[in-house]
Structure 1
Amino acid sequence: MTPALNSLSQRIAARLSSSQRDDHYLHNDFHALTAATLDMEKRFDRAERIPSPPQEMRLEALRRFRLAQELTEREWRMVFYGLADNDPLYPDQPILLEDDTFFPRVNSAIKKRIETKTLKRRDWAALCSSYFAYQHQLPETNPHWCVLRGHIAQGYLVVKAAIRREKSWMKTIEFYHDIFTPQAGGVISRQLLAGENNSLSSLEKNRANP
């Protein structure tokens, strides 16, 4: 499980602990929580089956980006995919999500695409990939990661508006709408407290098919 999802799991567990003190009850729900978070990770990993590009392609784009070279739209997408990538050629160089010098340029590029409503679905998926790939024990303490989270939430509205018919992966985003907010996990917490043992797996049953 990635640190981002592990952090989400811990927040949900804390909510459960504050709402229900019975040890047996919590023991059962922690099993359900584990199943739910693993299910979530799988769903986001395979959403629309958009595979992550090879690392070398991402690194090449990242190097061009750091050299301030003009990037194509495809190269920008590689950068969006590589926000959490370490470059083995430059081991002392921070990843973009922790780089105070270069992240502002990424921030501006994302904001421009959102404001002009030109953010593509694959670009949004790339941002999600970096969001979940970020390796940090407490990702929410990184302001750049929090900014990315906000962009993903806003960007989803742009992507949604450009798609005429709701896709299956969109149902997951719509239902668990708080996953890209500081309150992430609230929906899952409420479902677990209500006795649903497999919150995410029950999603398809609870939502009408397109």
Structure 2
Amino acid sequence: MKRIQALWGLLFCLLPLGVQASDAADRLIEALSGMQQLAGQFHQRQYAQNDVLVMESRGNFRLLRPGYFSWEIESPGSQLIIADPTAVWHYDRDLETVTRRPVNTGAGMSPLQVLGGDESALREGYEVTDQGEGVFTLVPVAGDPGFRSLTVRLRAFLIEGMEIIDNLNQRVLIDFSDLDVEAGLTREDFSFRPPEGVDTFYYDQ
């Protein structure tokens, strides 16, 4: 149960002198605009408040803007999160369970949805700070997004990593590698149908 909660938490301050939040949001959106699609590998580590490593995972991800993404854990275990603009599916192959939830918008968006979602939701739901050298911090201004802050590291208009502080003050670090902005992704790559024989739960309200 803890690893499922951690996944959903994934799937989802003061400004420096002279930097306005709207300008920072504009710069972040401009930087992300070059990543209309993206595929690669990830290495994720979750730390407790005392900085003790409590969870680590590796896998691959795909992103097609706006609104499509998949996040597949290859070790430990085997899990898949896949989303289109209307629904998010979570398939745990080890537990043989599938859950479907509606996509949140605005400040209810997960970190990956922030990067792959629409620009108006990013502008209206978050205070964006430009830390310089391709680093941006997003703080939710409304709702219950499941995290306190999201810091994005960009290099050469590609996402290099993320740091997420959740509502329990736990820290999640994600490093990305083997990035491909010409992966040839289409919307059909993000369609999902539950396999036969698995327990499927729908939370569409």
What TM-score, normalized by structure 2, do the two folds share?
Answer: 0.26
Structure whose CA Rg is larger: 1
The structure whose residues are more often helix, as a share, is 1
**Higher RCO, 1 or 2 (CA under 8 Å, sep at least 6)?**
1
The structure whose residues are more often strand, as a share, is 2
